[in-house]
Chains A and B, each alone.
Chain A
């Protein structure tokens, strides 16, 4: 029996619909959901590989308390009493939740309700702070509410799409695919990419502006001034001020293209082209994401962009809007329930605390904003927050200055972590570790970047003792004495309550309104088709399986009315300012961090998929060749990146895609997968003063070669505990189809490589099947361990990276089958023998002449005697013992 479930991809903010099919053997296959309006059947590489990630390898299946397995009762009691006691002794602000855009809306709702309505503190923040909060703040300043005005259809409808700080091709692949398809259909549509790096996205653009990091405000102020100079006017509040701030007399001579181009570090003519296209194109969408948000001027950058759209009235119309794309699957859902410490609930602020408390009928209510992510960890460090519950996020990898966060957690009296994985850098520090349900097991809703609420539906049973996050929290709440507010039959009930809260006392002053969904029956909820909010009226919902009836409004603000006090949109006067920490003589380079195509966040799930790991298997630092030369760095070798906050050691890629003076390193790798690739430890903790979002895109850094004396890699069928291996100073782990690969390096070459290698591979017994090739003088060593004909492990060591063989052929030796003779002979070469060099069985051993070679020569050169063969090939001319065989071959060839 096969069953098919419609659910939603748990990765990026595109929020693609996915169908998961379970066959009779419970094998999972994944496909794009053709009925989902956001992706219309497409999936990117990450989504496609979801089936690889649902196995239970590495899963956390039981609660653990103080490092030992415990039952739920014990674990919940410990959490509840820990929180209750801390609150009793030090007040509600001594506890905190740090949650995640990976949680479902229902989970998020419960977390927010518990913290803000029952504990009475606003100390709940989320990892969305790290990627989205500048957009939230910018939206609020401009529109009065955190609302994305457009939808993906607008990207297709637009004649000009401007991507700012968004490597869409890698980070939001399906949106990018839709965009590409639209351009293909209409070649007149233009694409401009604004990004310091020449990313994969930039490759396909009509125009790439590789601006200097942190100059976005200068660029869009320049554009605003240019637009104002070219006939665009506005009566909107803040308009005059914004133009004045952008215009003549300010730091940057707005409108003077050369001055702007210089400030921004791009070519005059390119900038002119961009300005002209923008001015001339009615249907313009500006997409922005982390490249804009993750900045100490993040909110200003957002408003600089929105200002241009407001001035040109390119908002609320098909194909025209500023468009923030979120990174996470449910960053939007989290924002909707109010899971950031800076809002209260359902897009209501602290000024509406009474309203919310009335709705919740709760014993308490937070009346002040709580701690933002970085402040929260600082408060833990300072001992002000004494109990923290971290859910579905890995802050020790994702936070800037992550080692400081680590130190903070280490000395925090109570750290509770809910996660799906047994080991994450953060989980390893937990006092209480709670097994949460994973994507395939969860039931609830998520909201994507275009306000589309989609169902996530479970298609696998919960393994071990894993439980849904909302259920875990409700249990804790009840044990803390909050039974009344936390009795739910299931996620549908929570969702109804959430929807009801959005509609509660909402006379149109809040765009977020799910009134139409507040009375969903269990069945309606089960079958809820993707629905774009607001959903103000109760419309009959069609069952999944049919194209969903269009629910919400595609383009908001079409009537020019905004949820501000004056009902108008606001332009915000912004002034360019450099990154919080400028580059200096000691730290001369600007370090930028970001995503790569096939990994998600801290890799806890994507690393399970060999297909995904294969795209970019290891963490790297990209550097411009000229900088590489300057700092003595070579492509393929290792380099240490040092900032005032931390360090990472990464593989070097030299590329002209990188701007001079800049470095790029991916954010994903962590201590589970690498010895020193947690780039977050090096990122500066500077934040945007308005949004509190960290400046990941600009940390002053120095780079130097890592003084490795040897490089190597290990392939092993079973994971090895490399971190504990003597002599390995640097490593990364790359999961493969039937193996794990470790790239390794060290600063001192072990004297006895053979003993060392056997030790690493855990091969102690003397009589094991062990192959080796050693050149000690050159410092190279290669060995393989074979068991019953199967390749178990292989290790390769060389003094320089380029002396190691290519990895892919070896990966193919791990077939689960016994090795072939040819593979065995070749395994340490790391590549197959030249097939054309197959000379056949040896005939003349003195000169190494094979049967096939002789037959070929007899045929092609018309050889007719043993002597002739001898003259042509030397065969038989030394000891002569093969002459009879040669004669035999001649007579064979004669007959043939």
Chain B
């Protein structure tokens, strides 16, 4: 191929996380010869699957299980990898990145994949020892260490991350209370009914809750180490804690981009080919803002990485249109699925199914006969099927009365050929 005769360009990737790595993988697949790839990762490890930190914390998986690639893989693919070395500056004029260590590397193309940072509520005491966030493997190590003596943990934030942290710490033997500002858990992904079921089953597993509670301060002992929370309420109530995990949200990590003069809003603003305002510089992942949207889940990153890699490889005109996302909670034995917009307003038709004794709840929101959002609890088998129809914008009117019951009731006979297959094989 004539590609081979072209001189290789230098591609620098900042951030060796989920998104940055995926761009590299995709690129290796479609245009392995085009670039010299240099990767900077602030974290000390080669690469790991971040979302699997939760099972690691819970002790269901070991760190080794969640590694994606070791250093040999980078070597084998001719990739230069600098770990534990953050990029401090981008000199766009000279097309150079300069690491915290002072290393200078030039680039023809640059990919920003700096992810996001946990948001820390700036209450008094937020910086005490014993206050941890939940973002990377060091956080997990810290939590595992803190849990070794048992004791009390408080997780601030009843969202996906907070609950997974709480569950993990509980499994590690800590007495865990979840402190949540709202009256219901995961209010962005769940409706009150599903949230109540979720809270009920977590409570049954032994987790405690302080709902509708706003933290006033994180208190400490004489040594300054965390020893509890004080709430903003009428009687200044308190809660003891040996460990406080802050899981109240994330903020795109845009400091570097901003400093280098790239246009940022909530995140680094990119176009449909994942380019920033500087066309040599791409950005992907949680650090990105695309068409006003910022994402906090992996599925959109895959789409973004693919578009980015295609563009870097000069492969056609694929473009990123934004993503609809679906959320699942990784707590063993709890099945929960949420996707889309399930706000209940005039224009929305809400379908619900509830079998509380069996712990099953489903809510599907339709707009103009199409699925706009879905919340499933207890039986999430059909989540992806709803999601597909949601993405495809299928008019579900024809099977609306069976929609709540899922694919097996709507698509009768759909899998027949497969079964015939089986029968023949047998």
B409 within 8 A of A: yes
Point out the residues of chain B lying under 8 angstroms from A771, CB to CB. 353-355, 357-358
> Are B413 and A829 neighbours in the complex by a CB distance under 8 Å?
no
A1 within 8 A of B: no
Point out the residues of chain A lying under 8 angstroms from B51, CB to CB. 879, 881
Contact digits for A820-847, partner B, Cβ 8 Å, 1 yes 0 no? 0000111011010110111100100111
B121 within 8 A of A: no
> Are B422 and A778 neighbours in the complex by a CB distance under 8 Å?
no
Point out the residues of chain B lying under 8 angstroms from A850, CB to CB. 381
> Are A884 and B351 neighbours in the complex by a CB distance under 8 Å?
no
8 further contact pairs, Cβ within 8 A, besides A828-B405, A859-B425: A771-B357, A786-B357, A803-B401, A833-B409, A837-B411, A845-B383, A856-B418, A878-B298
Contact digits for B206-217, partner A, Cβ 8 Å, 1 yes 0 no? 000000000000
Partner of A848 from B330, B381, B402 at Cβ < 8 Å? B381
Point out the residues of chain A lying under 8 angstroms from B264, CB to CB. none
A27 within 8 A of B: no
Helix, strand, loop or mixed for chain A's interface?
Answer: mixed
Point out the residues of chain B lying under 8 angstroms from A837, CB to CB. 407-408, 411-412, 414-415
> Are B302 and A878 neighbours in the complex by a CB distance under 8 Å?
yes
A394 within 8 A of B: no
B317 within 8 A of A: no
> Are A780 and B413 neighbours in the complex by a CB distance under 8 Å?
no
A776 within 8 A of B: yes
When chains A and B are docked, how far (Å) is the Cα of A62 from the Cα of B285? 83
**A11 CB, nearest partner CB in chain B, Å:** 40
> Are A881 and B52 neighbours in the complex by a CB distance under 8 Å?
yes
> Are A880 and B49 neighbours in the complex by a CB distance under 8 Å?
yes
**A234 CB, nearest partner CB in chain B, Å:** 68
> Are B379 and A825 neighbours in the complex by a CB distance under 8 Å?
yes
Point out the residues of chain A lying under 8 angstroms from B382, CB to CB. 848
A23 within 8 A of B: no
Asked, given contacts A829-B409, A837-B407, whether A773 binds B349 with beta carbons under 8 Å apart, the answer is no
The 5 closest A-B pairs by CB, nearest first: A848-B384, A777-B349, A837-B408, A833-B408, A829-B405
Asked, given contacts A824-B358, A836-B418, A842-B381, whether A780 binds B411 with beta carbons under 8 Å apart, the answer is no
Of A829, A833, A836, the most chain B CB neighbours within 10 A belong to A836
A407 within 8 A of B: no
Asked, given contacts A829-B409, A834-B413, A881-B330, whether A778 binds B349 with beta carbons under 8 Å apart, the answer is yes
> Are A878 and B409 neighbours in the complex by a CB distance under 8 Å?
no
> Are A826 and B52 neighbours in the complex by a CB distance under 8 Å?
no
Of A773, A842, A847, A856, the most chain B CB neighbours within 10 A belong to A773
From 351 to 393 in chain A, residues with beta carbon under 8 angstroms from any chain B beta carbon are none
When chains A and B are docked, how far (Å) is the Cα of A856 from the Cα of B415? 11
Contact digits for B383-426, partner A, Cβ 8 Å, 1 yes 0 no? 11100000000000000111011011101111110110110010
A66 within 8 A of B: no
**B226 CB, nearest partner CB in chain A, Å:** 32
A774 within 8 A of B: yes
When chains A and B are docked, how far (Å) is the Cα of A833 from the Cα of B408? 5
A772 within 8 A of B: yes
18 contacts between A and B (CB under 8 A): A771-B353, A772-B353, A773-B353, A775-B401, A777-B349, A777-B366, A803-B401, A825-B355, A826-B405, A828-B404, A828-B405, A829-B405, A834-B415, A836-B418, A845-B380, A846-B384, A853-B418, A878-B299
Point out the residues of chain B lying under 8 angstroms from A838, CB to CB. 408
When chains A and B are docked, how far (Å) is the Cα of A879 from the Cα of B358? 27
Which residue of the partner chain B has the closest CB to A874? Answer: B384
A798 within 8 A of B: yes
When chains A and B are docked, how far (Å) is the Cα of A837 from the Cα of B354? 22
Point out the residues of chain A lying under 8 angstroms from B302, CB to CB. 877-878
Interface residues in chain A, defined as those with a beta carbon under 8 Å from any beta carbon in chain B: 769-778, 780, 786, 798, 803, 824-826, 828-829, 831, 833-834, 836-839, 842, 845-850, 853, 856, 859-860, 877-881, 884
> Are B383 and A848 neighbours in the complex by a CB distance under 8 Å?
yes
> Are A824 and B355 neighbours in the complex by a CB distance under 8 Å?
yes
Number of interface residues of B (CB under 8 A): 50
When chains A and B are docked, how far (Å) is the Cα of A860 from the Cα of B423? 12
When chains A and B are docked, how far (Å) is the Cα of A774 from the Cα of B352? 5
When chains A and B are docked, how far (Å) is the Cα of A860 from the Cα of B412? 22
Which residue of the partner chain B has the closest CB to A821? Answer: B358
Point out the residues of chain B lying under 8 angstroms from A772, CB to CB. 352-354
Point out the residues of chain A lying under 8 angstroms from B401, CB to CB. 775, 778, 780, 798, 803
Contact digits for B319-337, partner A, Cβ 8 Å, 1 yes 0 no? 0000000101010000101
When chains A and B are docked, how far (Å) is the Cα of A877 from the Cα of B26? 13
> Are A836 and B415 neighbours in the complex by a CB distance under 8 Å?
yes
When chains A and B are docked, how far (Å) is the Cα of A834 from the Cα of B381? 14
B55 within 8 A of A: yes
From 39 to 54 in chain B, residues with beta carbon under 8 angstroms from any chain A beta carbon are 49, 51-52
Point out the residues of chain A lying under 8 angstroms from B55, CB to CB. 881
B65 within 8 A of A: yes
Which residue of the partner chain A has the closest CB to B405? Answer: A829
Asked, given contacts A845-B380, A859-B425, whether A769 binds B357 with beta carbons under 8 Å apart, the answer is yes
When chains A and B are docked, how far (Å) is the Cα of A850 from the Cα of B402? 21
Point out the residues of chain B lying under 8 angstroms from A853, CB to CB. 418
When chains A and B are docked, how far (Å) is the Cα of A775 from the Cα of B411? 20
B99 within 8 A of A: no
Which residue of the partner chain A has the closest CB to B60? Answer: A881
Partner of B400 from A775, A826, A842 at Cβ < 8 Å? A775
Point out the residues of chain B lying under 8 angstroms from A826, CB to CB. 405, 409
Contact digits for B177-206, partner A, Cβ 8 Å, 1 yes 0 no? 000000000000000000000000000000
Which residue of the partner chain A has the closest CB to B335? Answer: A845
When chains A and B are docked, how far (Å) is the Cα of A842 from the Cα of B380? 9
Point out the residues of chain B lying under 8 angstroms from A776, CB to CB. 349-350
B100 within 8 A of A: no
When chains A and B are docked, how far (Å) is the Cα of A776 from the Cα of B353? 12
Point out the residues of chain A lying under 8 angstroms from B407, CB to CB. 837
> Are A831 and B409 neighbours in the complex by a CB distance under 8 Å?
yes
> Are B49 and A829 neighbours in the complex by a CB distance under 8 Å?
no
When chains A and B are docked, how far (Å) is the Cα of A445 from the Cα of B189? 76
Point out the residues of chain A lying under 8 angstroms from B415, CB to CB. 834, 836-837, 839
Point out the residues of chain A lying under 8 angstroms from B330, CB to CB. 881
Of B330, B409, B425, the most chain A CB neighbours within 10 A belong to B409
Point out the residues of chain B lying under 8 angstroms from A798, CB to CB. 401
Which residue of the partner chain B has the closest CB to A804? Answer: B401
Which residue of the partner chain A has the closest CB to B352? Answer: A774
Point out the residues of chain B lying under 8 angstroms from A769, CB to CB. 356-357
When chains A and B are docked, how far (Å) is the Cα of A826 from the Cα of B366? 22
Asked, given contacts A856-B422, A860-B421, whether A829 binds B402 with beta carbons under 8 Å apart, the answer is yes
When chains A and B are docked, how far (Å) is the Cα of A877 from the Cα of B22? 12
Point out the residues of chain B lying under 8 angstroms from A842, CB to CB. 380-381
Point out the residues of chain B lying under 8 angstroms from A847, CB to CB. 384
When chains A and B are docked, how far (Å) is the Cα of A398 from the Cα of B329? 65
Point out the residues of chain A lying under 8 angstroms from B405, CB to CB. 773, 825-826, 828-829, 833
From 339 to 369 in chain B, residues with beta carbon under 8 angstroms from any chain A beta carbon are 349-358, 366
Point out the residues of chain B lying under 8 angstroms from A786, CB to CB. 357
When chains A and B are docked, how far (Å) is the Cα of A134 from the Cα of B370? 65
Which residue of the partner chain B has the closest CB to A855? Answer: B422
Point out the residues of chain A lying under 8 angstroms from B383, CB to CB. 845, 848
Which residue of the partner chain A has the closest CB to B420? Answer: A836
**A566 CB, nearest partner CB in chain B, Å:** 74
Which residue of the partner chain B has the closest CB to A822? Answer: B408
Which residue of the partner chain A has the closest CB to B366? Answer: A777
When chains A and B are docked, how far (Å) is the Cα of A831 from the Cα of B401? 12
> Are A773 and B404 neighbours in the complex by a CB distance under 8 Å?
yes
When chains A and B are docked, how far (Å) is the Cα of A403 from the Cα of B130? 85
Which residue of the partner chain B has the closest CB to A777? Answer: B349
**A873 CB, nearest partner CB in chain B, Å:** 11
When chains A and B are docked, how far (Å) is the Cα of A791 from the Cα of B358? 14
When chains A and B are docked, how far (Å) is the Cα of A777 from the Cα of B367? 11
When chains A and B are docked, how far (Å) is the Cα of A569 from the Cα of B133? 111
> Are A834 and B409 neighbours in the complex by a CB distance under 8 Å?
yes
Which residue of the partner chain A has the closest CB to B385? Answer: A848
Partner of B421 from A825, A828, A856, A884 at Cβ < 8 Å? A856
